[in-house]
Amino acid sequence: MAARAIWKGIIRFGGISVPVKLYSAVEDRNIHFRLLHEKDHTPVEQRMVNPATGEAVPGDQVRRGVETGEGEIVILTPDELESLEPDASRDIEILRFVDPERISHQWYDRPYYMGPDGDPAPYFALVKALEKERKEGVARWKMRKKSYVGALGIDNGYLTIITLRHAGEVVDAASLPRPSSRDLEPQELRMAEQLVSALEAEFDPAAYRDEYRDQVMALIETKAQGGTIRMAKVREPRPKAASLTDMLERSLKQAKEENKRAGSTR
């Protein structure tokens, strides 16, 4: 099934306008459970309850509050919050262009694809320009009553934009305690390098599945057909104290065996 656009906007920088459609680049694959009453399987409802009286509180009587001190809460009304929402706009303003390595991965939040909306010429002109200059754009836009900052880039001939976290959300590595260690023995360093080399391969995202989700879906399918699955408890072996050399030797041996098995199945 063809992807559906979730939003339309216009990339603007200088005197250039590039109409685009936005497509989500990720899909929610979480399992969404229904909450049921155990006795008769009737769906249960979630309600706001006053803990002092045990009575349900209607939605129009619920207010949002933020604790500012011990026992002190500032109440915000729906009208006050609505007045702070950004004005609707379709503009995606490019603030500047930067080298891609200037934006590290911890700043990235949610990715989107962009496709042309109407005449594709301006769209592909921007794609070619970014490819030639090897730059990413820092963009600002408003979508669905919220303001965003994002990184505009290229992926397989498509424009992409990834929303960025704000400065207060990203932990600077300089704030972490600096790790310290004894000097490594030459043999330890050589074995570590061999281990990295033994595990070197192309990245295949299809090889890494959500095993828990797969197991839950298998359980659901089996129970839907009237069966059950007995889940065996796996006992984790207690780790034994070992030297760094011993651990590297075992890891290197295991990596070589896995590579050998993988080669025999191709």
Domains and CATH numbers, the chain: 7-27+85-169 (2.40.290.10), 186-259 (no CATH)
**CA 130 to each of CA 77, 228, 254: distance values in angstroms, whole numbers, following the listed order:** 45, 55, 43
What is the C-alpha to C-alpha distance for residues 61 and 82, in angstroms, rounded to an integer?
17
What is the C-alpha to C-alpha distance for residues 6 and 263, in angstroms, rounded to an integer?
43
What is the C-alpha to C-alpha distance for residues 264 and 208, in angstroms, rounded to an integer?
20
Residue 235: per-residue pLDDT? 65
The span from the first CA to the last CA of the chain, in angstroms, equals 31
**Nearest partner of 8 among 86, 88, 111, judged by Cα:** 88
114 — pLDDT class (breaks 50, 70, 90): very high
Q: Which residue do the tokens 């979630």 mark?
A: 46
pLDDT tens by residue, 55-107: 999 988 999 999 988 789 999 999 999 999 999 999 999 999 999 999 999 99
Residues ≥6 apart with Cβ < 8 Å to 29: 210, 213
Q: Which backbone phi and psi does 262 adopt, to 5 degrees?
A: -65, -35
pTM for this prediction: 0.77
Residue 206 tokens read as 């299809």
What is the C-alpha to C-alpha distance for residues 80 and 63, in angstroms, rounded to an integer?
11
H-helix or E-strand spanning residue 6: none
14-25 in b/e form (b: 16+ CB < 10 A) is: eeeebbbbbbeb
